[in-house]
Amino acid sequence: MKTLLIGEYREGKLLDSTYELLGFAGQLGGESAMLLIGSENQLPAYNGRLYLADAATYGEYNPEVHKRLILQAVEKEQPDAVVFLHSSYGWDLAPRIAVNLKAGQVSEIVALVDDGYETSCCNGKMRRTVKPATTRSVLTIQAGAFPALQPSGTPQVQKIEGDRTSTLTFSGYEPAEKKEIDLAKADVIVSAGRGIGKKDNVGVIAALAKALGGELGASRPVVDAEWVAHDHQVGTTGQTVSPKLYVACGISGAIQHLAGMKKSEFIIAINKDKDAPIGEIADLLVVADVLQFVPALTARLAK
């Protein structure tokens, strides 16, 4: 499959999530190129074709102008799929491109499956497999669902120019509420589930996270009970993560939680129930009382 990836540039910086597009393309296979409306001083580090339009000329965001630049790159590349991140940028531009190309659109892809793409639906409570009905498709991928490609190499840059006229004026960005932590960037996450029993026991899990040099995560029931802040929630209604190590403490494995962390490189689950659903995806299942095992493990790590 031949893909055209749409990189993201905001407030003078290339977004790190652009490398998730490259990770997705690597899993998809085939040939890929990228379009970036950004700056020569902030180029993605990879070995491939890069169509570059100057953000100082065309604006960091203007859907009418950017749509024309993307369609110009599509004309040059003739890709089978145009791929965006499932972000505010992708939400706005993907359907515009799909309509112009008369292409099918698949949004919020979380995994690749043999017969199509796996997407989130029903407010994250279910998954479904979607196969585009058209030869060419427009895709958006969920943030954190695909491991980012490690920056390496120098792209072959080809500058493109287009029509700058627009009926719209970009007035700037309104920042989202600042998160206490960004779990998507953590290499190690230790998460607390309902199995820890009560709020007072969150400290036991946090101590293990600290001992491992990681961040504290949590399942939705723990957040709903207000034992930890929402910033720590992992899952379809929280953050999608793919750390090198994920430790699930007292988490049974509801589908919403699994969807948010199953891309982790190595998963350890600690649960009294040997048949807990999380055991099906865990690389290591420790059948033990979490409030006995975790303090003992933390103490051993301290030595």
Band of pLDDT at residue 170, cut at 50, 70 and 90:
confident
* Common-topology check for domains 3-159 and 183-302: yes
Give pLDDT tens digits for 190-227: 999 999 999 999 999 999 999 999 999 999 999 999 99
Mean pLDDT of the chain: 92
Mean pLDDT of 169-193: 83
Q: Is the pLDDT of residue 185 over 90?
A: no
Geometric angle at alpha carbon 13, from 16 and 45, rounded to 5°: 55
Topology classification of domain 3-159: Rossmann fold (3.40.50)
pLDDT attached to residue 125: 62
Looking at the DSSP assignment, which residues form a beta bridge with residue 249? 192, 270
Band of pLDDT at residue 109, cut at 50, 70 and 90:
very high
Question: Residue 47 and residue 43: Cα distance in Å, rounded?
Answer: 11
Mean pLDDT of 176-187: 77
Angle between helices 63-77 and 88-101 (to 10 degrees): 60
Mention every residue, 6+ apart, whose C-beta is less than 8 A from residue 178.
none
Q: Tokens 């190595």 — which residue? A: 266
Band of pLDDT at residue 19, cut at 50, 70 and 90:
very high
pLDDT attached to residue 181: 77
Q: Is the pLDDT of residue 6 over 70?
A: yes
Give pLDDT tens digits for 76-100: 999 999 999 999 999 999 999 999 9
pLDDT attached to residue 303: 82
Q: Decide: pTM greater than 0.75.
A: no
- What residue ranges do the domains of the chain occupy? 3-159, 183-302
| Cβ-based neighbour number of residue 158 at 10 Å | 13
> Which class would CATH give 183-302?
alpha beta
Instruction: Please tell me the least confidently modeled range out of 103-112, 142-151, 245-254.
Output: 142-151
Give pLDDT tens digits for 232-261: 999 877 888 989 999 999 999 988 898 889
Distance of CA 120 to the CA centre of its chain: 13
Q: By three-state DSSP, how is residue 41 classified? A: coil
